[in-house]
Amino acid sequence: MNPGILYACIAYLIWGAFPVYFKAMHAVPPMQVLMHRIAWSLLFLVLVLAIKRHWTWLGRALRDSKVLGGFIASALLLSVNWLVYIWAVNQDRVVDASLGYFITPLFNVLLGFLFLGERLRMLQWCATGLAAAGVAGLTWHNGSLPWISLVLAATFGTYGLLRKIAPLGALEGLTLETLVMFPLALVYLGWETAQGSNAFLNDATATKWLLASAGPVTAIPLLLFAAGARRIPLSLLGLMQYITPTLQLLLGVMLYHEPFGGARLAGFALIWIGLAVYSAESLWHGWRTA
């Protein structure tokens, strides 16, 4: 087996299992989980950089206002994405969260069209239209926009756009993102400590370990994904990305017994058909131009 396939698969499986991880911390407020995730992620990444003795890039990045500004923007987008996802999981909205990551690839297509000058082929327009029809059907069924799914897709898609044009790799980029958010996390956790409500100090040992593990849980799949992406074709990576929302959907329906049927299933079906059209068209186009 190409090791890149294994690396990417493990990363997608870890991300797919995130509902189980965050459900285990349901007693901790989502904002506090987010701040702990930022703090412990930075600590883990600093340890990795120390082991690799890989620091020279940091000074250049901090002195370059354009690079720093781009990563402040991507850090804010990533933080909003994390917060909404954590909140959704603990509000029994895992299915809605999974939908966000199903529609992210098609949202990326639109971002490429709007900001990178990429031209959409006819079947890509059809795939996007089918997904839009699915979202419209879910809106009609629910009586409101599926805002959780749309916020997750918009923040992660825009985050991906910023990282696509950023000059830093996965390890360096995530380190800089957590670094610029760390002062906010430190102030927030300091305030929670002063109020006597810091879960890391007050809750059971299991919760403390779960919070501390946010560092490796965040960084390891990202590094595995980056390693896999360098070793396998982008078309294969694009197909494998559906492992994550599929696993999350199965967890939401089968483990947490969230409702999934009728009009909701029909809306998802339209989106899945759109994704199938998009994936098949991408593979066919890649084969023709190879």
Q: Which domain holds residue 280?
A: 3-289
| Distance between CA atoms of residues 37 and 266, nearest Å | 36
- Residue 22, C-beta contacts closer than 8 angstroms, at least 6 positions apart: 33, 85, 86, 89, 90
Q: What is the DSSP letter of 53?
A: T
What is the percent of the chain with per-residue pLDDT over 90, rounded to a whole number?
58
What does the pLDDT read at residue 236?
72
283 pLDDT exceeds 80? no
Other beta carbons within 10 Å of 254: 10
Residue 234: band (very low, low, confident or very high) from pLDDT cuts 50, 70, 90: low
Distances (CA, A) of 271 to 71, 221, 275: 31, 26, 6
Q: What's the mean per-residue pLDDT of the chain?
A: 90
pLDDT of 267-280, one tens digit each? 889 989 988 888 88
What does the pLDDT read at residue 230?
77
Q: What is the mean pLDDT of residues 210-229?
A: 90
pLDDT of 3-34, one tens digit each? 888 998 999 999 999 999 999 999 999 999 99
Pick the closest to residue 86 from 260, 214, 234 (CA basis): 214
| Cβ–Cβ under 8 Å, residues 178 and 42 | yes
Q: What is the DSSP letter of 195?
A: T
| Distance between CA atoms of residues 29 and 50, nearest Å | 32
Other beta carbons within 10 Å of 263: 12
What does the pLDDT read at residue 290?
62
| Distance between CA atoms of residues 136 and 119, nearest Å | 24
pLDDT of 156-208, one tens digit each? 989 988 888 888 888 899 999 999 999 999 999 999 999 999 999 998 999 99
Pick the closest to residue 275 from 241, 250, 251 (CA basis): 241
pLDDT of 237-252, one tens digit each? 777 888 999 999 999 9
E-only strand ranges, 126-262: none
Q: What is the mean pLDDT of residues 87-92?
A: 96
How many structural domains are present in the chain?
A: 1
